[in-house]
């Protein structure tokens, strides 16, 4: 009897312990999100909306055009919760924006305009910190913006690419100003150089976005979807079509059958293969090859109905490619400048020439031209941007 009672007692105790543990497992909170986009979307909700005047002031401060003022400082303080979420999000690896790419040209991406606003806020905070003498904090804010640029580019469309370029350019301009306005210590210079190198290695190649563009546009090369292009054809702000050709294109699209779509898709894919080959070439050759492809599409569209849809859907590939070369060259100039600053900090003077193995000027494929000045140095591209007929010069001051 005593053994029976003891066994029953043990069973009751085990059951209670099990229930106790189960209760705690139920009460345990779930893990934090591992998708950065979820935190960005929350930050957009917490971001304090601005009127045009405040929006302009934030933009000007982010670009270094004005100094911080009490109104801006108050706005930054009011957005501290949003900033915290954005910084946290930028440090995550995964960023899935949850877009329905099957919607094609109707795909809405309102978060991209909000990203621009939040990045300007982040860089305004960097400029504020720089004005207060805290260049380390300012640099961290710039790196946050660079990480956001990578997350924007996780959406593999050309629009994502272009917004990512805008974000990265703003961040790099801020870093350039920090280096020119402060005497940054050696440890921070090495840290910043390593961070920029790591972020550059994570940047998606231009082909990543072009492949998605080809796949998304390719959805329209079927009779049941091709007519969805009519509003796009009619909107002259989206695509430039000669007035006399517009009626013919509409007629061809309205009458599109399986054979028309199949032949147009074959030409479309042929053009994209030529584009992929072109962007692998050195800059000058690539730019000219892309111009040839673009001209060929326009000429053939006037006489060959198999090229109509390619003419309607082909992006401004030269301009997009040019943006890619420009932003990567700017980043290479920053990393080269950091090496020069490191040498200056270690030796007490600027080097007489560039050290070996520096990142290249992608417009020429060669090292940047380096020139010492009384108050710093400049890095100059050796060949021009063919779209703007401009040779870029990057100026750095030395305190």
Q: Is the pLDDT of residue 82 over 90?
A: yes
- The rounded Cα 246 to chain-centroid distance in angstroms is 34
- pLDDT (average), residues 336-359: 96
Q: Are residues 128 and 100 in the same domain?
A: yes
Structural domains in the chain (count): 3
- In this structure, the answer to whether residues 52 and 169 fall within a common structural domain is yes
User: Is the predicted pLDDT of residue 18 greater than 70, yes or no?
Assistant: no
Q: Could you say which of 315, 349, 367 is where a domain stops?
A: 315
Same domain for 310 and 321: no
Both 70 and 96 in one domain: the answer is: yes
The pLDDT score that the predictor gives to residue 241 is: 56
Is the model more confident about 245 or about 248?
248
Enter the DSSP assignment of 96: -
Q: Which residues contact 2 (CB under 8 A, 6 or more apart)?
A: none
**Quick one: 39 and 102 in the same domain?**
yes
Residue 242: pLDDT band (50, 70, 90) is: low
- From the number of C-beta atoms within 10 Å of its C-beta (0-12, 13-18, 19+), residue 117 rates as middle
26 within some domain: no
Burial 235-255 (b: 16+ CB within 10 A, else e): eeeebebeeeeeeebbeebee
pLDDT classification of 238: cutoffs 50, 70, 90: very low
* Residues 237, 161 share a domain: no
Question: Hunting for tokens 């956001």 — which residue is that?
Answer: 148
The span from the CA of 351 to the CA of 126, in Å, is 30
Query: 326 and 288 in one domain?
Result: no
C-alpha separations of 10 from 6, 18, 125 in Å: 6, 12, 62
φ, ψ for residue 395, nearest 5 deg: -100, 135
Q: 52 and 128 share a domain?
A: yes
Q: Which of 181, 204, 227 delimits the end of a domain?
A: 204
pLDDT at 234 over 80: no
| 79 in a structural domain | yes
* 375 and 300 together in one domain: no
Evaluate whether residue 85 is within a structural domain.
yes
Using one digit for the tens of pLDDT, what is the confidence trace for 101-128?
888 888 889 999 999 999 999 999 999 9
Residue 121's nearest CA partner among 184, 74, 185, 172 is: 74
Q: What tokens appear for 265 in the block?
A: 């898709």
Determine the pLDDT at residue 237.
45
Quote the tokens at residue 50.
Answer: 């601005």
Q: What is the largest CA-CA distance in the chain?
A: 104
One domain for residues 377 and 290:
no
Q: What is the CA radius of gyration of the chain?
A: 27
Euclidean distance between CA atoms 379 and 398, whole angstroms: 14
Residues spanned by the domain of 373 = 316-399
364: number of Cβ within 10 Å:
18
Pairing of β 376-380 and β 393-397: antiparallel
**Pairwise pLDDT comparison (31 vs 150), residue with the higher score:** 150
Characterize the bridge pairing of strands 393-397 and 369-373.
Answer: unpaired
Does any domain span residue 22? no
Comparing CA positions, the residue from 195, 177, 172, 179 lying closest to residue 119 is: 172
Angle between helices 158-181 and 135-152 (to 10 degrees): 170
In a domain, 15, yes or no: no
* End position of a domain, from candidates 204, 232, 264: 204
pLDDT digits (tens, 9 = 90+) for 138-152: 999 999 999 999 999
Please check whether residues 226 and 192 belong to one and the same domain. Answer: no
Interior/surface letters 281-317, b for 16+ CB within 10 angstroms, e for the rest: eebeebbebbeebbeebeebbeeebbbbbbbbbbbeb
Q: Which helix (H) or strand (E) segment is 376 a member of?
A: strand 376-380
Same domain, 311 and 329: no
Burial class (CB in 10 A: 0-12, 13-18, 19+), 343: middle
- Flag whether 35 is in a domain: yes
> Cα–Cα distance between 340 and 7 in angstroms, integer?
78
d(CA 257, CA 263): 10
Kindly state whether residue 83 falls inside one of the protein's structural domains: yes
| d(C-alpha 168, C-alpha 332), whole Å | 13
Residue pLDDT, tens place only, 172-225: 999 999 999 989 999 999 999 999 999 999 999 999 999 999 999 999 999 989
Q: Is 14 part of any domain?
A: no
CA distances from 167 to 41, 85, 299, 354 (A): 17, 18, 36, 29
């Amino acid at each position: 009897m005593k053994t029976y009672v003891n066994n029953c007692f043990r069973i009751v105790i085990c059951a209670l312990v099990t229930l106790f543990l189960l209760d705690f497992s139920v009460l345990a909170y779930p893990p934090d999100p591992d998708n950065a986009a979820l935190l960005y979307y929350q930050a957009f909700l917490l971001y304090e909306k601005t009127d045009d005047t405040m929006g302009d002031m934030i933009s000007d401060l982010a670009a270094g055009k004005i100094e911080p003022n009490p109104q801006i400082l108050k706005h930054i303080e009011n957005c501290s919760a949003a900033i915290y979420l954005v910084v946290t999000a930028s440090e995550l690896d995964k960023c899935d924006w949850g877009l329905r790419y099957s919607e094609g040209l109707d795909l809405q991406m309102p978060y991209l305009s909000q990203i621009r606003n939040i990045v300007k806020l982040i860089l305004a905070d960097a400029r504020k910190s720089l004005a207060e003498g805290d260049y380390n904090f300012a640099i961290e804010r710039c790196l946050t913006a660079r990480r956001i640029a990578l997350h924007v580019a996780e959406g593999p469309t050309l629009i994502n690419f272009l917004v990512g370029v805008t974000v990265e350019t703003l961040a790099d301009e801020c870093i350039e100003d920090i280096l020119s306005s402060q005497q940054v210590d050696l440890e921070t210079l090495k840290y910043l150089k390593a961070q920029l190198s790591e972020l550059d290695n994570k940047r998606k190649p231009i082909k990543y976005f072009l492949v998605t563009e080809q796949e998304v546009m390719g959805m329209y090369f079927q009779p049941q979807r091709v007519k969805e292009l009519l509003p796009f054809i009619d909107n002259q702000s989206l695509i430039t079509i000669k007035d006399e050709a517009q009626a013919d294109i509409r007629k061809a699209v309205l009458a599109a059958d399986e054979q028309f779509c199949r032949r147009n898709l074959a030409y479309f894919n042929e053009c994209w293969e030529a584009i992929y080959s072109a962007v692998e070439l050195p800059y000058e050759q690539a730019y000219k090859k892309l111009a040839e492809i673009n001209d060929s599409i326009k000429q053939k569209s006037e006489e060959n109905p198999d090229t109509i849809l390619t003419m309607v859907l082909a992006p401004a590939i030269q301009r997009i490619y040019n943006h890619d070369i420009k932003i990567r060259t700017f980043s290479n100039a920053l990393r080269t400048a950091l090496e020069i600053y490191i040498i200056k900090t270690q030796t007490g003077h600027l080097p007489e020439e560039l050290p070996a193995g520096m990142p290249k000027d992608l417009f020429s494929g060669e090292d940047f031209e380096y020139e010492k000045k009384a108050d710093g140095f400049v890095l100059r591209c050796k060949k021009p941007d063919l779209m703007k007929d401009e040779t870029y010069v990057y100026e750095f001051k030395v305190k």
